[in-house]
Structure 1
Amino acid sequence: MIKPLIYNTAILLLLLSPLSLSFHIPSSSKNLKTQSQSSDLRSATSDLPTPVHDEVQKANSFLTDDAMERAEAGSKEEKIKLSKDVTQTWTDIHAYAAAIREGKTSWEDISQDDMDYRLKWVGLLHRRKRTPGKFMMRLKVPNGIVTSSQMRFYSKSVSEFDEEIGVVDITTRQNIQLRGVTVEAASRIIEGLHELNQTSFHSALDNVRNVVGSPLAGISDTEVIDTRKLCTEVNDLIIRDASGAFGNPRFANLPRKFNIAISGGDDDFSHCNINDLGFHAVIAEDGSKGFNLDVGGYMSIKRVAESVPLNLWIPENSVVKLCDAVLTVFRDEGERKNRQKSRLMWLVEQYGVEDFTARILKEAGEGGFRERQPHVLRKDYVRQELLGVHPQNSTHSRVGLHIPTGRLTRYSCAALADLADKYSDGEIRLTVDQNVIIPNVDNDDLKQLEIEVDAIENVDFTAGLIEGNVVSCTGAQFCGLALVETKANARRVSKRLEELVEVPKAVRMHWTGCPNSCGQAQCGDIGLMGAPARKEIDGKKVAVPGVNIFVGGKIGESPFLALEPRIKGIPLDGEEIVTVLAELLVSDFGGVMR
């Protein structure tokens, strides 16, 4: 399905060929330069072999005259994107890495605009505040499906970094993030990913995030549509150019980030309600398979918006065309000055739902689109569980393994790769709950699989109804925006609650370090968001890290966002947070103190 990548060959030649780069190294490498002050570093890339991407248009050339004018008068980020086309980063990263490895420069001599902004177009997010010179590298894993070779490569990639920061995270978008990455290592990792038919391009800032699908695609007898092929096709629309190479200038300069979720059935494991585009699988009245469309969902520090339904049903074979149309309209017409009003929902509201629907249909052209189709939940509907052992057929099962707060080490990555090779033909599936599924396991092998999983640190074959349903953002360990450390606190608190309270069913507890809500606190049965708190110490009230607590978020067929916290300013250290949460588990979730 995917042809060989010309771009990979070009970059490989780049890395193997002698580089005659001339860098000017200032006397003090500690001084970060602006874009205009680092012309020597930028111009060095002009001597590199010409990759295939230089033969196509740049990202800014796809902007309409109106969009270009608004970008020129737009935000700081818009001006950065205009001052040097972001597509250049796809080759700059290799030049920077080679120069650093050869001792000609250091990361501190790269312009701040490149380090903190443009390198996000190759998936590199600088953790300047917590770990200067180190990056989080975000990948693209459509539908959350990973091969054992890819998982083993993640382990290898972070193994050269300090164990405390060289870790791998599963995200709330069925995605992978590699931590501790340096500029000099990044180009090797990118090349390794491309050889494994995977990329980190287009994964941060004003790009389309990982396309989320059903983790049970193709292995559930209740699904309406298998989302795997569609997620891959939409992903390719976004990240591949006309030649098939990674890096697509058409959609490289959007007004803001953009999320797409494709749900294969009633369970909606993709959380369509918080995505810019949410495709809900529905069989039309004539038996055709397709999707009802919701638009505009997102979470941010200023606003949390649940998606709104359009009077539109899209045939299965027109999903890519519809995505193309919406992304084109968003790119050309989205807000580029006020970034707090740059998400798709604001454009939908500017048009009005009916006129926005008409606009995207005009852009898409013919595609068999219809009015929204009626959907009735089947009488025997029960949302499927993802953790644990569940039958696929008479001879095989899927096994959902718990990864506490989604954090993997180099060792657990390698061990999961070995398990997949042995038990599931090399396939691993990620979930938005930050866990993994090993599919297609022979029932005769289940006991042995459990024994081997129990020997892997940070991977659980079974988990409690509280501990097993914890979701957490990165937190203050790495993220400069986070007000509190989330992952360590989430593990500590959930473990303590498991000891204190027995609950009758799973309670989803979402932790997020700040109001940006990467941990999706408003979706959780209980959501905890980093916030200021005060605690009495030695007779005085002092400021300490704390949380605000949201209650009642729902996912699945009837989603609901808890938009306002019920409890504010609870200190994180000590037992007070445990006491408050234990009381909530009893009062709201049928819990009983042990």
Structure 2
Amino acid sequence: MTTADKKKINPIEKAKAQKHPLLLKQELEQLSQLGWEAMDEFERDHGLKWLGFFYRPVTPGKFMLRLRIPNGILTSSQLRVLAEIVQRYTEAAGFQQEGNADITTRQNIQLRGIHLEDIAAIIERLRKADLTSVQSGMDNVRNLTGSPVAGIDADELIDTRDIVCQLQDAITNKGEGNFDLSNLPRKFNIAVAGCRDNSVHAEINDIAFIPAYKDGKLGFNVIVGGFFSAKRCAAAIPLDAWVEPDDVVPLSLAILIVFRDHGERGNRQKTRLMYLIEEWGMEKFRTEVETQLGYPLQKAAAKDEIIWEKRDHLGIYSQKQPGLNYVGLHVPIGRLYASDMFEVSRLAEVYGNGEIRLTVEQNLIIPNIPDSRLEAFLKEPLVQQRFPIDPKPLQRALVSCTGAEFCGFAIIETKNRALAMIQELEAELETPHPVRIHWTGCPNSCGQPQVADIGLMGTKARKDGQMVEAVDLYMGGKVGKDAHLGSCVMPKIPCEDLKPVLRDLLIEHFGARPRQAAVVSV
């Protein structure tokens, strides 16, 4: 019996112990006949997340589908399959003219409006396209992030693609579901950085691998324990370990097993990896990991190679492959429609080699465009009108979670409000450089406000005797080298009063100036 077995467990642990949620894959036909309203509440609201399908009470009878896209890399044919799923199976749920998809802050894609009776057919379509959604929610390792320009960046240190794919296969049993590693105490994030600019936000992951030289060899320093939650946020701390690239997968699995066997399974607000590290102390934690691994870890390298400010990869860049370029396209608030997805697939095939990359800023990259085709690519209507390579400064760095439009956890609506407010501010202000403004609809922090220049977290506030949608305002987050988390500086600002607050902050702290036309119109 493990330490965790001796402690009081929470209701979700009790439900998991009765039947492993991965077993629901074998029952989809019966569940379809039963209907979503008659389903067991745990299986509907939680269990199906092990298969990648999330019931959303704000859209009754419909589910969100979250994929697994390791390192954020898709083929054009895979994106086309996702577009077909959006087109054929999803509904607007009363909010949009058509079904849609969102690029997430973990280089992933979520589709909305799925019906229970279509889940089995969708899983089969994903399998045929070499895609999977298994273990993408609840107490599992979430999408594995890596450098969005791995293998094509002229200045990269380590190509993370193969490492991340090997790790995905080990964790998910090659997409079929892994019973041994899908019953963690809580969610778990892993990132593998291969460049000098921390494009993966290493500090907010439970495990992150950061390039570092030791005795002339290139490998990774390891940090552990980073997380966001409704009650607490913490930056990852050093494991005091350095590993070669071949050891990334074994070490990750060893840490996952230690967490699985010893992590807290009581209060779900205290079940992330950092709590185990703090309970044991780093020395004991490291020793337990080494015991599971079967060999001692080397001490960390004296310094890592995260020495650049973070890049957003928007624009045109020469690849390490002579004569080829990658182009980063800005996707406003990460929102895609089926028509967009079909068109991105076409552009990737016509101008590149059919590959598409996703970024943690909710944008996309089309690589491998020859010099001779670049001019024609830039004239394409999608690039000119929908997904520009050089958006206005505030839109360029805007990030938003799903918000209350589709997510039952969200306290406020985010995406549409965020874009509309930024567009209004850009009409009024000249901003000399991008300002990273992140919106998240609730304290779960999917929009990562703590890493932003200005972060906005959904809450409620009282105004004129009424409860209204509001935000807690964070500042001071830094990404890239010397990354650290910001803190709340202004709580409970009603959303209807937010624009002038942002306007003043942009002028006072970020060099923005009122546009002349805006001054005259006041």
Shorter-chain TM-score: which interval? over 0.9
Of 354, 364, 367, 2:293 maps to 364
Partner of 2:36: 107
Percent identical across equivalent pairs? 42
Partner of 2:376: 448
- 1:89 aligned onto 2:24: yes
Kept after mapping to 2: 8 A contact 1:124/1:136 = yes
Q: Secondary structure at the match of 1:209?
A: coil
Partner of 2:313: 386
Displaced runs of 4 or more, over 3 A: 64-70, 376-379, 381-385, 453-458
**Cα pair distance change 1:330/1:284, threshold 3 Å:** same
Distance 1:362 1:334 in 2: 16
Kept after mapping to 2: 8 A contact 1:390/1:398 = yes
Q: Secondary structure at the match of 1:488?
A: helix
Distance 2:175 2:151 in 1: 28
Partner of 2:200: 270
Larger C-alpha radius of gyration, 1 or 2?
1
Kept after mapping to 2: 8 A contact 1:415/1:456 = no
Q: CA deviation at 1:359?
A: 1.3
Kept after mapping to 2: 8 A contact 1:453/1:461 = no
Kept after mapping to 2: 8 A contact 1:263/1:272 = yes
Of 568, 571, 588, 2:494 maps to 571
1:95-494 correspondence runs (5 A): 95-97=30-32, 99=33, 105-128=34-57, 130-160=58-88, 161-163=90-92, 164=96, 166-240=99-173, 244=174, 246-285=176-215, 287-366=216-295, 369-375=297-303, 381=308, 383-393=310-320, 394-454=322-382, 458-494=386-422
Partner of 1:525: 453
**Cα pair distance change 1:68/1:191, threshold 3 Å:** farther
Distance 2:48 2:136 in 1: 10
Kept after mapping to 1: 8 A contact 2:474/2:490 = yes
Q: CA deviation at 1:432?
A: 0.5
Kept after mapping to 2: 8 A contact 1:90/1:247 = no
Distance 1:66 1:578 in 2: 50
- 1:590 aligned onto 2:521: no
Kept after mapping to 1: 8 A contact 2:323/2:370 = yes
Kept after mapping to 2: 8 A contact 1:552/1:561 = yes
Q: Which moved more, 1:463-472 or 1:85-94?
A: 85-94
Letter in structure 1 aligned against 2:100: V
Distance 2:381 2:482 in 1: 34
Letter in structure 1 aligned against 2:240: N
Q: Secondary structure at the match of 1:82?
A: helix
Q: Secondary structure at the match of 2:387?
A: coil
Q: Which moved more, 1:225-234 or 1:492-501?
A: 492-501
Kept after mapping to 2: 8 A contact 1:412/1:456 = no
Distance 1:157 1:461 in 2: 27
Distance 1:314 1:186 in 2: 40
Kept after mapping to 2: 8 A contact 1:268/1:557 = yes
Kept after mapping to 2: 8 A contact 1:263/1:280 = yes
Letter in structure 1 aligned against 2:199: F
Q: Secondary structure at the match of 2:504?
A: helix
Letter in structure 2 aligned against 1:389: I
Partner of 2:520: none
Q: Which moved more, 1:153-162 or 1:86-95?
A: 86-95
Of 427, 434, 440, 1:499 maps to 427
Q: Secondary structure at the match of 1:466?
A: helix
Distance 2:476 2:3 in 1: 43
Q: What does the per-residue CA deviation read over 1:326-358, in whole Å, with 9 as the maximum and x for residues that have no partner?
A: 000000000011111100000011111122111
Distance 1:392 1:96 in 2: 49
Q: State the TM-score, normalizing by the size of structure 2.
A: 0.94
Kept after mapping to 1: 8 A contact 2:312/2:361 = no
Q: CA deviation at 1:85?
A: 2.0
Partner of 2:12: 77
Partner of 2:519: none
Kept after mapping to 2: 8 A contact 1:142/1:235 = yes
Q: CA deviation at 1:88?
A: 0.9
Partner of 1:581: 502
Q: State the TM-score, normalizing by the size of structure 1.
A: 0.83
Partner of 1:516: 444
**Cα pair distance change 1:554/1:191, threshold 3 Å:** same
Q: Secondary structure at the match of 2:379?
A: helix
Q: CA deviation at 1:453?
A: 4.3
Structure 2: runs of 5 or more not aligned: 516-522
Distance 1:352 1:205 in 2: 26
Q: Secondary structure at the match of 1:494?
A: helix
Distance 2:124 2:213 in 1: 41
Q: CA deviation at 1:234?
A: 0.8
Distance 2:120 2:388 in 1: 33
Q: CA deviation at 1:365?
A: 1.4
Q: What does the per-residue CA deviation read over 1:507-564, in whole Å, with 9 as the maximum and x for residues that have no partner?
A: 11100011111111111011011122344xxxx443321112111101111111113x
